[in-house]
Amino acid sequence: MLLAGCESPSPMNVSPQFAAERSNRNVTPLKDACRVRIAAVNDARTATDSMGQLAGRPIRAQDSLQWVGSAFDWLSRDRRLKLVSEGDPADLVLTVDLLKAYVRSGAGMGKAANVVVRVRYTPRNGAEDVQLYRGIDTGVNWATAEDETKGVLNRALNQVLNQVNDDTAERCAKVLAVATETRT
């Protein structure tokens, strides 16, 4: 029995599918949707399978690139944006780097998730721009359950995604305005 207390808890595996929590806002579509290509999604963390630790239980990512990639696919729900494939012309190209993604135990029965993403924006008619985004979500750790842990990570990534969505639409509007000016 004494040895049983020394065993380390089994890792918790977090599903790689992102679940958005934001519905589409009432946005005015641009005359022409901005063509956006996500050139790459990279995991720049040193331990790419680790997503932190909750109540002494290690959290592992089944596929962090799929998790972030499926989140960025959500941008296609914005009527101002049209995601295009490699080889198709794009008005704006995004390169996404996951810098941090973890959950940790907080004070008392708390938990906190932190997600940091760097996005490189490359417009077809301008210079590259780099922006960092952070999402943080906190809550009560009720049961150290997988769905609870995935939820706090998704909510933190959702905050990042909301910021990226707004910035992408703003950059697209500028790119399309410049294109319109040069045609007239």
Measured between alpha carbons, how far is 26 from 40 in angstroms, rounded to an integer? 29
Whether 82 is in a domain gets the answer: yes
pLDDT in the model for residue 8? 64
Q: What is the CATH number of the domain that holds 98?
A: 3.30.160.150
Contact 115, 156 (CB under 8 A): yes
Whether 160 is in a domain gets the answer: yes
Whether 53 is in a domain gets the answer: yes
Whether 14 is in a domain gets the answer: no
Number of residues assigned to the chain: 184
Q: Which domain holds residue 131?
A: 27-183
Residue 96 has pLDDT above 70, yes or no: yes
Residue 182: which pLDDT band, with cuts at 50, 70 and 90?
A: low
Average pLDDT over residues 170-184: 78
Number of structural domains in the chain: 1
DSSP state of 145: -
Residue 131 has pLDDT above 80, yes or no: yes
Whether 65 is in a domain gets the answer: yes
Whether 16 is in a domain gets the answer: no
Whether 9 is in a domain gets the answer: no
Q: How far is CA 172 from the centre of its chain?
A: 19
Measured between alpha carbons, how far is 29 from 95 in angstroms, rounded to an integer? 24
pLDDT in the model for residue 4? 47
Measured between alpha carbons, how far is 68 from 54 in angstroms, rounded to an integer? 21
Reported as a single tens digit per residue, the pLDDT across 48-77 is 999 999 888 999 988 999 999 999 999 988
Whether 123 is in a domain gets the answer: yes
Instruction: Please give the model's pTM, rounded to 2 decimal places.
Output: 0.86
Structure token pair of residue 55: 């109540």
